[in-house]
Amino acid sequence: MFAAGDGVHGRELWVSDGTSAGTTLLEILPGAGSSDPWYLAAANGTLFFGARDATHGFEPWTSDGTPAGTLLLKDIVPRSGDSVAAEFTNVNGTVFFSADAGLWKTDGTTAGTVLVKDVLPGPGSGVILETPPVGSVLVFQGDDGVSGSEPWASDGRAANTHLVADVGSPGGSDPDPESFTQSGSLLFFRATTNATGDELFAVPIAALMDSDLDGLDYAAETAAGTNPFDADTDGDGFSDFAEVVEMHTDPLDPNDRLRTRFRSPVRSGWSHLPRRCCWPPRGGARASAEAMG
């Protein structure tokens, strides 16, 4: 399927089997007007895209290649309002997209089309999805209004949709990360900061959901109240993972008396990282990626 205009109809959705006779119109907005299908993405035998019809504004649609199977997926902004559904990205069968200034996902049903996270609360958009998925993880350019435009990641859960690294800090840069490319265990990307200029950066794939590489993902760190950018939040020599999962001690209290029973060293992934890789092992409230060079 593809979008095109034929000079009679507006820009509409078409389906083709590769022959002239087998190329037919799937008209969403009848007449000379255009439904303007864009950001077409296929998943599970269904095409996902943004379009408008005579009743609704610009919303998410799906098609199975037939007129009867070309349908509005969800009216996110009711009636003639526009959610500006765009940037549909297939991540292992779950389709993510930007709409109504937030990050959404869908399983292809109306009920299963839900907001994942409003990254930038308010009318502005804080999401740009222009990156191939990394395994089961969506990587995107996000702006929460605090850190500027930075690399973000999501596994489809609100609690695990988060800033990966504050590349622009210190210096208050707005790095606009782009051109994400996976190679081996690293995800490379281009970004611009006040400190480095326009440079190549990298982040371990394992750090997309576990920024400090201590064994706890972002959601688990948030639930425990620990710092997701610091493997040892209370600085007692034991990792947050060891305290939460193995020792069952308080990861926020360096004087927890239960800890005297343990003599094992901190479990931390930092010793396994290349010297010049991504960000310092103890990043405080924010972790900043390091330029390669």
Kindly provide the b/e burial profile for residues 238-250, where b requires at least 16 CB atoms within 10 angstroms of the residue's own CB: bbbbbbbeebebb
DSSP 200-240: EEEEEGGGTT-TT-SS--HHHHHHHT--TTBSSTT-SSS-H
pLDDT band at 289 (very low <50, low <70, confident <90, very high): low
pLDDT at residue 42 greater than cutoff 70: yes
Cis before 170 (ω within 30): yes
Looking at the predicted structure, is the pLDDT value of residue 187 above 90?
A: yes
Tokens standing for 221?
Answer: 């760190």
CA 178 to each of CA 45, 208, 290: distance values in angstroms, whole numbers, following the listed order = 29, 16, 15
Lowest-pLDDT range of 159-168, 170-179, 278-287: 278-287
Q: How far apart are CA 124 and CA 189, in angstroms?
A: 24
Measure the CA–CA gap between 79 and 95, rounded to whole angstroms.
23
The reported pLDDT for the residue numbered 184 is: 93
User: In the predicted model, what is the mean pLDDT of the chain?
Assistant: 85
> Which residues, in sequence order, are CB contacts of 21 under 8 Å at separation 6+?
none
pTM for the complete prediction? Answer: 0.84
Taking alpha carbons only, the member of 147, 49, 160 closest to residue 95 is 49
* Unique residue bearing structure tokens 């507006």: 10
pLDDT over threshold 80, residue 291:
no
Q: Of the candidates 167, 154, 153, 152, which has an alpha carbon nearest to the alpha carbon of residue 200?
A: 167
DSSP 241: H
Distance CA 22, CA 9 (A): 18
d(CA 212, CA 179): 23
